[in-house]
Amino acid sequence: MTTKYGFYYKEGYDDPLCIDQTSVKQFIERLSSPPTPFLLYSFEQFRHNIDTYQQELKNLAPIRSRLSYSMKANYNPHLLPILKSAKVMLTTVSGGEMQLALSNGFEPSSIIYNGNGKTDESIEMAIDAGVLLNVDSLFDLEIILEYARQLNKIANVLIRVNPNLSDTNVHAYNITASKTSKFGTNIDELEPIYNLIEENHDKWIRLYGFHCHLGSTISNTQIITECVQKLIPLFDIKRFPHLRLLNIGGGLNIDYKRYAQRTKNDKNDDIKIPTIEDYIQSIKEPLQLLPNTIELIVEPGRSLIANSCILITRVLGQKSTGSIQQLVVDASMTECIRPALYQAYHHIDTINSLSTDERIPFDVVGPVCESGDFLGKQRCLPNTLKRGDFLAIFDVGAYCSSMSSNYNMRPRPAEYTLDEHEHIKVLKKRETNEDLLRSFYVE
């Protein structure tokens, strides 16, 4: 019998929602009246996602390839040993993320520091440690060179290239490869950067490759193919002999609505969600044109971590506002901001078997003092839900914990998982009001 992992429903059971081999209801009971909301991770799902990518990357042989994890999606330090054990690279976007990666034993050559506005301190740290820096612009390169001279060290860099691919079919806030994006340098405006690198080549700087990021929630793999096709001609090894890395970034979308069939009115969209195999196959053919000395870095974003975590919340009550029935819960935009920020969908359902109860459409809203504080609109849930009942908000592993806040002086939630013996492991303690105030009282 195949062992199941991750989050799934065992239909026909009294406690149908499971994490790995344990029911979520039993997990909650073992916590003994835990404060809600809280985050619950399946590390088995996370490992499976990593392994699936790495198995598919083998199909690109003889092209060498590596997987890179975007720390901004979720920087819980307990994820890092899993990534390190699997020899996954890390893409960082701040000095804090870079320092966390280095302090957890990641080799500098396996860390990429990306960003359109790097601080002096973080640039100095990256060069001193030997981390790969993404050059975002001409001014960015000038500052990198300045610190390389001060430290008397060579800066190892990639150039973040903007290939002017705007038809990515994602939310406007998630587009990173259009001509007007704040990230990267347009592909037809690279010559000033090239010239400055040549002037300082092998003295203060070495160009190792190119990076492109296509945005988040990518569902059209054709755009990935086009990106690779545009970047391959940039590999002029005669001009830059150290070129050896092509880094393709972009958050492959996941099926956020895969559980929607459980609720009769929450229907799946017609958008085709690419598989990991689809992603890899989309770049296989154009990569054949690369020199055999080039190594591919694949940075697929949310698809590594998103489905590895759920948010557990409690019902506070029901109310009617005109024709809208609202279900008020104790989770909010401070724990799961994506619906408010991007109008993103997260599936919401009970943890219990209530399939015989009539379901009606609810707007699921939080208690934060903002009209935009909602977790889902017109979600079909049992009309018998009452104060204290538990709900699960699915697929919150990416860009929920890392974007959480203390708005309205709300403590950020605890984070848990189950270890290999199915014992509860605390990944992060719930904050207290004292924690929130501590930094204000400095003598």
Shared-domain flag, residues 296 and 316: no
Are 127 and 153 a contacting pair, CB within 8 Å?
yes
**pLDDT given at position 175:** 47
Helix (H) or strand (E) holding 124: helix 120-129
Shared-domain flag, residues 281 and 320: no
Number of domains in the chain: 2
Active site annotation includes 369: yes
Evaluated on CA atoms 369, 375, 378, 382, the torsion sign reads negative
Are 363 and 395 a contacting pair, CB within 8 Å?
no
Shared-domain flag, residues 187 and 218: yes
Question: Which residues does the chain have with pLDDT short of 70?
Answer: 1-3, 166-180, 216, 261-271, 353-356, 443
Give the tokens for residue 127: 């060069």
Shared-domain flag, residues 115 and 232: yes
| 170-193 b/e (C-beta count within 10 Å ≥ 16 → b) | beeebbbbbeebebbbebeebeeb
Shared-domain flag, residues 359 and 290: no
Q: What is the CATH number of the domain that holds 247?
A: 3.20.20.10
Structural domain contains residue 55: no
Are 336 and 393 a contacting pair, CB within 8 Å?
yes
Evaluated on CA atoms 242, 243, 245, 251, the torsion sign reads positive
The residue length of the chain stands at 443
Shared-domain flag, residues 249 and 388: no
Give the CA diameter of the chain. 73
d(CA 148, CA 40): 43
d(CA 202, CA 207): 9
Shared-domain flag, residues 209 and 354: no
Task: Quote the domain boundaries for residue 133.
Answer: 88-304
**pLDDT given at position 237:** 93
d(CA 432, CA 217): 34
Of 18, 227, 369, 400, which one is the catalytic site residue?
Answer: 369
Model pLDDT for residues 376-433, shown as the tens digit of each residue:
999 999 999 999 999 999 999 999 999 999 999 999 999 999 998 889 999 999 999 9
**pLDDT given at position 173:** 42
Q: What is the CATH number of the domain that holds 432?
A: 2.40.37.10
Backbone angles phi, psi at 191, to 5 degrees: -60, -40
Q: Is 0.75 surpassed by the pTM of this model?
A: yes
Structural domain contains residue 65: no
Give the count of beta carbons closer than 10 Å to the beta carbon of residue 244. Answer: 16
Shared-domain flag, residues 347 and 434: yes
